[in-house]
Amino acid sequence: MTKTLAFVLYPGITPLDLVGPLQVLSALAQIDPSFEVVVVGKGLTPLSTDTPLKLTPSHTFGQVAESFALIVPGGTEPTLAALADEPLLEWIRQVARTAEVVGSVCTGSLILGAAGLLYGRRATTHWGFRDLLAKFGATPVAERWVQDGPVLTAAGVSAGIDMALHLVERLAGEQTARMVQLLIEYDPQPPLGGIDWRSADLDFFKPHARTMVESALAGHPALLARMTT
């Protein structure tokens, strides 16, 4: 039986949140045809991102009623606005009921939270929004990726690649995961070295995060109050 690995696409996402793990899992599908990868949206029209690039779903919500795995990418203000997108949340809830893996990248975990899928679970997201996970009953964790039962959440943007490689190992074994990593030449060597989290001033971003939340949810006072009190 073919196992469908579904990514959800909505307006304004950060492309790498989707494309990073999408590339990893697409490589898995090329190696093992028992997996298929789809990108699902409300329609089939190109959607804006937070870059000049537009992305187009391969399938609509109506065409994908269930999947083996579901991955939700994140972004900035448009993702926060999606916390009030009930058709999107309802499709995610529907697919999550039978999915064996429910995942997210970056602030996509907040959408999982808004859909009621993180209550009582450990989860992560972009460091600038991590404290908001508690608003949905989750336990925020400062890790690159976190697995809690069927839920797999990744931190900001590039962490989605790490999460996806972990998922490949889980689904197809270490040898296949290593082959996928080799195929995409994933061997990070940032020119400025790794992030020194001990010296990072994480508080400077909090006012910016609150401003985005207030702007994104201005038309949804109850949800805004929940996110800011």
* Domain 3-228, CATH number (from 2.102.10.10, 3.40.50.880, 3.20.19.10, 3.40.50.300): 3.40.50.880
In the predicted structure, residue 170 carries a pLDDT above the cut 90: yes
Kind of pairing between the strands at 151-154 and 59-60: unpaired
If you average pLDDT over residues 142-168, what whole number do you get? 97
Radius of gyration of the chain (CA): 17
- Give the lowest-confidence range in 37-46, 66-75, 196-205: 196-205
Report, as residue numbers or ranges, the catalytic residues.
106
Reported as a single tens digit per residue, the pLDDT across 81-131 is 999 999 999 999 999 999 999 999 999 999 999 999 999 999 999 999 999
In the predicted structure, residue 200 carries a pLDDT above the cut 90: no
CB 24, CB 165: distance < 8 Å: yes
Phi-psi region of 214 (alpha: psi -120 to 50; beta: other; left: phi over 0): alpha
CB 62, CB 90: distance < 8 Å: no
Reported as a single tens digit per residue, the pLDDT across 173-191 is 999 999 999 999 999 999 9
Arithmetic mean of pLDDT over the chain: 97
Instruction: Tell me the pLDDT band of 199, cut-offs 50, 70 and 90.
Output: confident
Write down the pLDDT at residue 140.
Answer: 98
If you average pLDDT over residues 153-177, what whole number do you get? 98
**Any residues with CB less than 8 A from the CB of 60 and at least 6 apart, and which?**
40, 41, 42, 43, 44
If you average pLDDT over residues 43-49, what whole number do you get? 98
Write down the pLDDT at residue 132.
Answer: 97
Query: Which residue from 16, 23, 14 is spatially nearest to 165, judged by alpha carbons?
Result: 23
Query: Which residue from 114, 139, 136, 140 is spatially nearest to 127, judged by alpha carbons?
Result: 140
Write down the pLDDT at residue 228.
Answer: 95
Task: Provide the Cα torsion 222, 71, 104, 171; round to 10°.
Answer: 150
